[in-house]
Chains A and B, each alone.
Chain A
Amino acid sequence: MRKYSVFAVAREAMRGHKGWEAQWTSPEPRKEYDVIIVGGGGHGLGAAYYLAKEHGITNVAVLEKGWLGGGNTGRNTTIIRSNYLYEESMDIYEHSLKLWENLSQELNYNVMYSPRGVMMLSHNVHDQQVFKRHIHANRLYGIDNEWLTPEQARDYCPPLDISAGARYPINGAALQRRGGTARHDAVAWGYARAAADRGVHIIQNCEVKGIRRGPNGEVTGVDTNRGFIGAKKIGVSASGHNSVVMAMADVRVPLHSVPLQALVSEPMKPIFPCVVMSNTVHAYISQSDKGELVIGAGTDQYNSYSQTGGLQIITHTLDAICELFPIFRRVKMMRQWGGITDNTPDRSAIQGVTPVPNLFVNCGWGTGGFKATPGSANLFAHLIAKGEPHRLAAGLTLDRFRSGRLIDEAAAAAVAH
């Protein structure tokens, strides 16, 4: 792999940009791999990268039924933060945030991580009490989070309407300054390039149709539309389709898949300096480096794999955006899309061993998996390599729904989905 650098740009500029090589190769699948990862999103590609880099396991394939990052990795609103309430969540999201901070250097790929601050608006006494509880819990745990008055919130984000006559009055905000955004495609591509450089096979257009088991119930490989591929270990990280893949190994998981929508506006000059979320009126918004306002809507109320979603969900969010930021009332929306999120009953992810030997699962990231990408991938690689969870992911086990040790993060989600 040729390194990207300012010198590479200069060199290619001199010779008509003919020397750029493909970022990853598309090899024919081998007969067998040590590890197969099902799902070529950020979590899966990242896990393959960390398996090769930190655990020396390079005989790895990532199987993707569509194209890299074409699922939820390319469909989210790219928000990164770690101000969750419970220690199990803070552990993994803070681990992730620390990896985000150095990810561009680590991968030699500009993921455009921008710690521009994530501000959560408080509209009533209940919000204020909940946010302050979060702030105290975070600070005790060494994670930055601070309380702002309405004036400080307006100073941090000038388009915000804090006037007394506002439809949704604001009585303060919680701000995590290290939170921000990143370029979602670049995360998938950067991990794919770095993993392929270490010998990982990235196989697109390869849909897993079945999981084969040996005499002791252990996994032996997968049937795909490109034939059987053997595997000593399988890691499933298929986002909205985790239930479908796990059913191939006769494992039922506590998930339901629902569409989550987002939309972007026409591009504008820089006007919006940070990420703003409002739980109470359901709105979250930031501005991409291309200038589009990136707006996240809610989930539909029914299970679906349709990657669309109802129009009333979007209009509900835009109603709130227009009230909070009156200057955006005449902005035109340009594109809208949906992604299929896999949600657990306690709204916390599942990462752990399964009842099937050598089958591991990384699922249930629900509506907030993008921010967890590097941390989840890093810990998933540890799980697959060692056969047991890393200390930081020890609480996210599948059997917590049997033991009752739930991680009830529903109250800590930035918006109510």
Chain B
Amino acid sequence: MLLIYCPYCEEERSELEFRGAGDAHIARPTNIADISDEEFEEFFFLRDNPKGLIFERWRHIHGCGRFFNAARDTVSDKFKLTYKAGLPKPDLDATTPAAPVETYEATESNAK
């Protein structure tokens, strides 16, 4: 289970209090009725699904009830940062190199 720092409550709480809400920083087109099928697919369905750093939304549904954003590593599941909704996407690529993680996949995959 994850421990998640809520930037509004300013404390770390168990994942049970939170609801994941998908990718962050996806702007809904303001002209939604005019866009093409390709643009709608891009906005609504297509996702990067990154192996590594992901920016995602969480909601502290059993706490303050507010949405916020998080930067997390999808290999180690470790949170790099959580920040309030509406703040710009932080530039983490340059500052935090991905530390090697000892996953089962990395250590046990020596097939003969």
Contacts and interface: CB of A to CB of B under 8 A. Distances in A.
Interface of A: 64-68, 70, 204-205, 241, 243-244, 247, 252-257, 301-308, 310-312, 342, 345, 401-404
A312 B1 contact: yes
Most chain A C-beta atoms within 10 Å of own C-beta, residue among B2, B22, B42, B48: B48
Contacts of B103: 306-307
Give the 6 A-B CB pairs with smallest separation, nearest first: A67-B111, A243-B49, A66-B109, A301-B20, A254-B45, A401-B45
B12 interface: no
Given A70-B109, A253-B46, A401-B41, 17 more contacts: A67-B111, A205-B109, A205-B111, A243-B47, A244-B49, A254-B41, A303-B49, A304-B75, A304-B77, A305-B51, A306-B75, A306-B103, A307-B104, A312-B1, A312-B16, A401-B45, A402-B41
Interface in B40-92: 40-42, 44-51, 54, 56, 72, 74-77
A66 B54 contact: no
Contacts of A401: 41, 44-46
Nearest to A254: B45
B31 interface: no
A352 to B, nearest CB: 15
B98 to A, nearest CB: 12
Given A304-B74, A306-B77, A402-B38, A252 B47 contact: yes
A401 to B, nearest CB: 4
A305 B75 contact: yes
Main secondary structure of the interface of A (DSSP, over half): loop
B10 to A, nearest CB: 22
Given A205-B109, A257-B49, A307-B105, A302 B56 contact: yes
Contacts of A252: 42, 46-48
9 contacts: A244-B49, A252-B46, A252-B47, A252-B48, A254-B47, A256-B49, A307-B104, A401-B46, A402-B40
A303 B15 contact: no
A192 to B, nearest CB: 12
B11 to A, nearest CB: 19
Most chain B C-beta atoms within 10 Å of own C-beta, residue among A253, A306, A312: A306
B46 A254 contact: yes
Interface string B87-110: 000000000000000011100011
Contact of B111 (A66, A244, A255): A66
Contacts of A68: 111
B34 interface: no
B25 to A, nearest CB: 15
A320 to B, nearest CB: 17
Contact of B15 (A67, A247, A254, A312): A312
A204 B47 contact: no
B109 A306 contact: no
Nearest to B40: A402
A342 B48 CA distance: 12
Contact of B51 (A67, A204, A205, A241): A241
B1 to A, nearest CB: 4
Nearest to B16: A312
Nearest to B4: A302
A399 to B, nearest CB: 9
Given A310-B15, A401-B41, A402-B38, A302 B46 contact: no
Contacts of B37: 402-404
Given A401-B41, A402-B37, A305 B74 contact: yes
B45 to A, nearest CB: 4
B109 A302 contact: no
Contacts of B20: 301-302
A65 B16 contact: no
A415 B76 CA distance: 27
Contacts of B45: 254, 345, 401
A306 B76 contact: yes
A257 B23 CA distance: 12
Contacts of B47: 243, 252, 254-256
B101 to A, nearest CB: 8
A257 B74 CA distance: 9
Contacts of B40: 402
Nearest to A242: B49
Given A307-B104, A307-B105, A247 B111 contact: no
A254 B41 CA distance: 9
Most chain A C-beta atoms within 10 Å of own C-beta, residue among B38, B41, B111: B111
A24 B110 CA distance: 17
A311 B2 CA distance: 10
Contacts of B54: 303
A414 B76 CA distance: 30
